[in-house]
């Protein structure tokens, strides 16, 4: 049985060539290494080094041993990595969302429900990325804007979906805007406009770009900066009913509802069917 520290030293010797260099790299002493390499040869009963009085070098078998040592160390490090990763996952509740608003609601609920655990959330622009994350265990839960109905070959549901909050998109227009007096508009009415938009709003971003022809989108990822620019200019921008509760809409703008069905959204919390019962407490937290 070869102890790990010796395997590490052997691999390091193959890399750094001299004991003194290895001693520096591994923060130990030349004599310690000299002894360890002798001990290694003794345990194996095999000569691994060409030695002259003040020079040591791996021989052919020593090189072979060092390559194997590297393999052992890789397995060793992978073991540590995997265990720590598994533990980290066990200690964090991780979910992904297609839009920011559900995260504002869900994270406080989860933090309260799973006390002592870290709650981690990701915003993703596509459903596919979220489903993939749910499948590979990255997410315990995902938030989509539709229930997920996929079934296996026997017709059994693979996922459990639970309605969560609704969210509705509005457009913010300057008072002087040609559409400012409308009761409601369609996204297509904004064709050709210059529009200020936050680029970290999940699926909203794609929907808006898709449904408004020929618009120029001025992107901004800093929320506070975005609000300042909205206030200071006559540019068109967006808000939702949920974001309106979080922060007051800027003065001097008209808030006009949008008629498109795609931006009047019911969100759903989705988890794997077999884990649904683990989340009963969570799913009964809103009703």
Interface with a second copy (CB under 8 A): 1-5, 7-8, 44-48, 60-61, 64-65, 68-69, 71-72, 74-76, 78-80, 82-84, 86-87, 90
Does 76 interact with DNA (rule: CB under 7 A)? no
Instruction: Pick the stretch among 15-23, 72-80, 149-157, 189-197 that binds DNA (CB under 7 A).
Output: 15-23
With CB cut-offs between 5 and 8 Å by kind, which of DNA, a second copy, none does residue 72 bind?
a second copy
Q: Which is nearer to DNA, 65 or 172 (CB)?
A: 65
Cα torsion angle, 258, 131, 84, 23, sign: negative
- Smallest gap from Cβ 8 to a second copy, in A, equals 7
Q: Which of 7, 10, 15, 20 binds DNA (CB under 7 A)?
A: 20
Helix boundaries (H) for the chain: 4-16, 19-25, 30-44, 60-91, 100-113, 127-135, 203-211, 223-232, 241-246, 280-283
Does 28 interact with DNA (rule: CB under 7 A)? yes
Residues 98 and 202 sit within 8 Å (Cβ to Cβ): yes
Q: Which is nearer to DNA, 49 or 104 (CB)?
A: 49
CA triple 189-191-196, angle to 5 deg: 105
State how far the Cα of 168 lies from the Cα of 166, in Å rounded to an integer.
Answer: 7
With CB cut-offs between 5 and 8 Å by kind, which of a second copy, DNA, none does residue 20 bind?
DNA
With CB cut-offs between 5 and 8 Å by kind, which of DNA, a second copy, none does residue 112 bind?
none
CA triple 257-198-250, angle to 5 deg: 55
Q: Are strands 194-198 and 92-97 parallel, antiparallel or unpaired?
A: unpaired
State how far the Cα of 178 lies from the Cα of 8, in Å rounded to an integer.
Answer: 73
CA distances from 34 to 27, 131, 156, 272 (A): 14, 55, 64, 56
Place of tokens 């559900």: 102
With CB cut-offs between 5 and 8 Å by kind, which of a second copy, DNA, none does residue 78 bind?
a second copy
Q: How many CB atoms lie within 10 A of CB 118?
A: 12
With CB cut-offs between 5 and 8 Å by kind, which of DNA, a second copy, none does residue 64 bind?
a second copy
Q: Within positions 54 to 73, which residues make up the interface with DNA, using CB under 7 A?
A: 54-56
With CB cut-offs between 5 and 8 Å by kind, which of DNA, a second copy, none does residue 76 bind?
a second copy
- Smallest gap from Cβ 81 to DNA, in A, equals 21
State how far the Cα of 286 lies from the Cα of 163, in Å rounded to an integer.
Answer: 9
What DSSP character marks residue 273?
G
- Smallest gap from Cβ 31 to a second copy, in A, equals 20
- Smallest gap from Cβ 67 to a second copy, in A, equals 9
Residue numbers of the site for DNA (CB under 7 A)? 3, 5, 18-21, 27-32, 34-39, 49, 51-56
């Amino acid at each position: 049985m070869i102890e790990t520290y010796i395997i590490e030293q052997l691999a390091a010797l193959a890399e750094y060539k001299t004991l003194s260099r290895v001693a520096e790299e591994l923060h130990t002493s030349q004599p310690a290494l000299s002894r360890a390499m002798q001990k290694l040869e003794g345990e194996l009963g095999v000569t691994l080094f060409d030695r002259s009085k003040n020079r040591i070098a791996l021989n052919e078998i020593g090189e072979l041993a060092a390559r194997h040592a590297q393999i052992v160390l890789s397995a060793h490090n992978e073991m540590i990595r995997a265990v720590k990763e598994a533990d980290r996952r066990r200690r964090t509740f991780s979910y992904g969302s297609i839009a920011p608003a559900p995260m504002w609601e869900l994270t406080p609920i989860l933090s309260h429900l799973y006390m002592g655990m870290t709650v981690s959330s990701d915003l993703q622009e596509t459903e596919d990325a979220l489903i993939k994350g749910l499948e590979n265990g990255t997410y315990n839960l995902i938030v989509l804007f539709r229930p997920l109905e996929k079934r296996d070959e026997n017709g059994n549901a693979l996922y459990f979906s639970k309605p969560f909050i609704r969210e509705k998109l509005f457009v913010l227009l300057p008072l002087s805007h040609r559409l400012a007096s409308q009761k409601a508009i369609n996204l297509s009415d904004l064709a050709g406009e210059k529009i200020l938009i936050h680029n970290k709003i999940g699926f909203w971003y794609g929907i808006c770009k898709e449904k408004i022809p020929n618009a120029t989108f001025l992107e901004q990822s800093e929320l506070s900066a975005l609000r300042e620019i909205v206030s200071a200019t006559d540019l068109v921008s967006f808000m939702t009913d949920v974001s309106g509760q979080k922060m007051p809409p800027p003065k001097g703008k008209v808030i006009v509802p949008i008629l498109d069905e795609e931006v009047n959204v019911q969100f759903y919390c989705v988890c794997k069917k077999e884990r649904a019962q683990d989340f009963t407490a969570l799913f009964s937290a809103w009703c």
